[in-house]
A and B are shown apart, each in its own frame.
Chain A
Amino acid sequence: MLGPQNSTFVMYDEEFKRISVVIDKLLREANAKVIFLVDKNGQLIAGCGETEHLDTTSLASLTAGNIAATGGLAKLIGEKEFSILFHEGEKDNIHISIIAQRVILVVIFDHRSSLGLVRLRVKKASEELTVIFDDLAKKTASAAEQGGGPGSPFAEITDDDIDNLFS
Chain B
Amino acid sequence: MSFINYASREINCKIVYYGPGLCGKTTNLQHVYQKTAPEAKGKMISLATETERTLFFDFLPLALGEIRGFKTRFHLYTVPGQVFYDASRKLILKGVDGVVFVADSQEERLDANIESMENLKVNLEEQGYQLEQLPFVIQYNKRDLPNVTSVAELRELLNPDNVPDFEACAQTGEGVFETLKAVAKLILMELKKGSGG
CB <8 Å contact, B129 and A162: no
> What residues of chain A have their CB less than 8 Å away from a CB belonging to chain B?
5-13, 15-17, 39-43, 45, 55, 57-58, 61-62, 65, 68-69, 71-72, 147-149, 152-157, 161-162, 164-166
Residues on B with beta carbons closer than 8 Å to the beta carbon of A149: 195
Measured CB to CB, the closest approach of chain B to A4, in angstroms, equals: 8
Does B75 make an interface contact (CB < 8 A)? yes
Q: Complex Cα distance A71/B4, Å?
A: 25
Residues on B with beta carbons closer than 8 Å to the beta carbon of A164: 65
Selected contact of A58 from candidates B43, B65, B72, CB within 8 Å: B43
CB <8 Å contact, A155 and B192: yes
CB <8 Å contact, B188 and A65: no
CB <8 Å contact, A162 and B94: no
Q: Complex Cα distance A161/B11, Å?
A: 14
Closest to B14 in A: A41
CB <8 Å contact, A148 and B12: no
Closest to A76 in B: B87
Does B91 make an interface contact (CB < 8 A)? yes
Residues on B with beta carbons closer than 8 Å to the beta carbon of A166: 64, 177, 181, 184
CB <8 Å contact, B7 and A152: no
Selected contact of B192 from candidates A15, A43, A154, CB within 8 Å: A154
Residues on B with beta carbons closer than 8 Å to the beta carbon of A8: 1-4, 191, 194
Residues on A with beta carbons closer than 8 Å to the beta carbon of B33: none
Does B140 make an interface contact (CB < 8 A)? no
CB <8 Å contact, A162 and B1: no
Residues on B with beta carbons closer than 8 Å to the beta carbon of A15: 7
Known: A147-B195, A154-B192, A161-B67. 15 other contacts (CB 8 A): A5-B1, A8-B1, A11-B7, A12-B6, A13-B6, A13-B7, A16-B6, A41-B3, A149-B195, A153-B11, A153-B68, A155-B195, A157-B67, A162-B185, A162-B189
